Amino acid sequence: MEILIINGPNLNMLGKREKSIYGEMTLNSINEMLLARAGGRCELEFFQSNHEGDIVGMIQRTDADGMIINAGAFTHTSIAIRDALLAVSKEFIEVHISNVFAREDFRHKSYLSDISKGVISGFGAMSYAFALDYFLEQKK
């Protein structure tokens, strides 16, 4: 089984950006934590982009069996990413480091939630880990 982990805009800035909200971990250290957690039980592929079209392209061409997506601000704006996910109809989990429901109103709207398997929001880097656990459980 292969899982694709997609991170959208500004998530390459983790470890530097708004640490009180997003914590100290860099995206690389989160990805390493996920690799350790998977422990070879599934393949992980990592993709980060600040560009909406690049994320759409990746969703269209991936061979992965499932996806973990933190679309960053595109979560709240992108019909294009929603349509790409609908086009490939692969199971995906929406994740957020922060609890978006405890933040500004504009972060309460997601174009992805209703078509996702589920949403994990507010557990810091562990949001990704819990999403990975779901896929690892499916494999058993």
- List, by residue number, the catalytic residues: 22, 96
Smaller CB separation from ligand DQA, 65 or 113: 113
Residue 97 annotated as part of some ligand binding site: yes
Residue 98 annotated as part of some ligand binding site: yes
Edge to edge, the sheet with strand 91-96 lists 43-48, 2-7, 66-70, 91-96, 118-121
Q: How far is the CB of 41 from ligand DQA (least distance, A)?
A: 25
The answer to whether the CB of 8 falls within 8 A of the CB of 71 is: yes
Q: Which residues bind ligand DQA (CB under 6 A)?
A: 10, 70, 72-73, 75, 96-98, 100, 107
Return all residues near 68 (Cβ < 8 A) that are at least 6 apart: 3, 4, 5, 6, 92, 93, 95, 128, 131, 132, 135
Q: How far is the CB of 104 from ligand DQA (least distance, A)?
A: 8
Residue list for the binding site for substrate? 70, 76, 83, 97-98, 107
Residues annotated within a binding site? 70, 76, 83, 97-98, 107
